[in-house]
């Protein structure tokens, strides 16, 4: 059986461009949806042209034109959507309902991977306001997919390394300090960090794999299941210096949120659940899920200790 044809929606975005690259690298006929209303966004145009030079096919389509989405979907076997669901960039998760409608009408898609790539929203029913909107919207999309009978795989990729490792797990920091760090409590709560290129590699590996059909794939590379203090200690070892450490309690962190704007509060809630509650690593994967590094041991994933070297 040949490899599935793949349509990437959101292919010029932060994760999307990596998915396109991984899909081409793994030998899939790869299509990238682009909007006719791209205007004079020269960086996106140049990225699209570079995809084309690498062998991707460009398909014009728009969420505002249902027919164009149906026509695009009919040309492929698998749809991967990577539109942003992070408020610090943009939040368009519910736009995917239009894509679900198009996939349902087209009737040919073997698998749909909606834009997830973070915390598993099915485990966040008790998340705090206002941050829970991210998880709630993703669950609305999941319900629509399952109500439509569309085959799916959900990707729970946990923490993007560039956002979390780069800032030593501190909000609004993406380059590690050589002087100081503040810890969430005592810094011993475990989280999971994954290089974005590895997220793309694992994602594309699932699409023709019957073991991940109608399941959630959790990305838990074993050497990257680490506490904040473990990440900090790795950085200290690299720079040969101990950082000055201060601690913020859960109560202090929540109190700080009161002076923040809406988008900052959403980001803070996400950090709270990851760094105080340990929501990424405090459960066992059940029958409804699979773990990526076990399914695909051939992937030589980037270790956090090695990821940190780029900042030296």
CA angle 72-73-75, nearest 5°?
A: 75
* 142 closest CA partner among 84, 106, 96, 87: 96
d(CA 254, CA 269) in angstroms, rounded, equals: 8
Active site residues: 138
């Amino acid at each position: 059986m040949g490899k599935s044809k793949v349509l990437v929606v959101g292919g010029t975005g932060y994760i999307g461009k990596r998915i396109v690259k991984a899909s081409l690298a793994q030998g899939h006929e790869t299509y990238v949806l682009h909007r006719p209303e791209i205007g004079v966004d020269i960086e996106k145009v140049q990225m699209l042209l570079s995809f084309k030079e690498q062998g991707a096919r460009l398909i014009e389509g728009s969420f505002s034109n249902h027919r164009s989405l149906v026509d695009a979907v009919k040309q492929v076997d698998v749809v991967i959507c990577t539109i942003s669901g992070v408020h610090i960039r943009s939040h368009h998760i519910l736009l995917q309902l239009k894509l679900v409608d198009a996939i349902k009408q087209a009737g040919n898609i073997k698998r749909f991977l909606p834009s997830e790539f973070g915390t598993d929203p099915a485990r966040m029913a008790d998340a705090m306001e206002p941050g829970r909107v991210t998880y709630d919207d993703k669950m609305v999309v999941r319900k629509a997919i399952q109500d439509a009978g569309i085959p799916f795989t959900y990707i729970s990729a946990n923490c993007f390394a560039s956002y979390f490792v780069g800032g030593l797990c501190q909000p609004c920091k993406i380059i590690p300090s050589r002087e100081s760090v503040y810890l969430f409590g005592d810094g011993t709560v475990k989280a999971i960090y994954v290089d974005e290129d590895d997220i793309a590699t694992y994602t594309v590996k699932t699409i023709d794999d019957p073991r991940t059909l109608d399941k959630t794939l959790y990305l838990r590379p074993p050497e990257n299941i680490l506490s904040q203090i473990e990440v900090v200690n790795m950085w200290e070892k690299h720079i040969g210096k101990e950082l000055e450490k201060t601690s913020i309690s859960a109560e202090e962190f929540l109190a700080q949120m009161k002076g923040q704007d809406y988008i900052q509060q959403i980001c803070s809630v996400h950090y709270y659940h990851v760094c105080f509650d340990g929501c990424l690593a405090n459960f066992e994967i059940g029958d409804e899920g699979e773990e990526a590094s076990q399914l695909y041991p051939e992937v030589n994933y980037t270790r956090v200790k090695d990821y940190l070297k780029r900042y030296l």
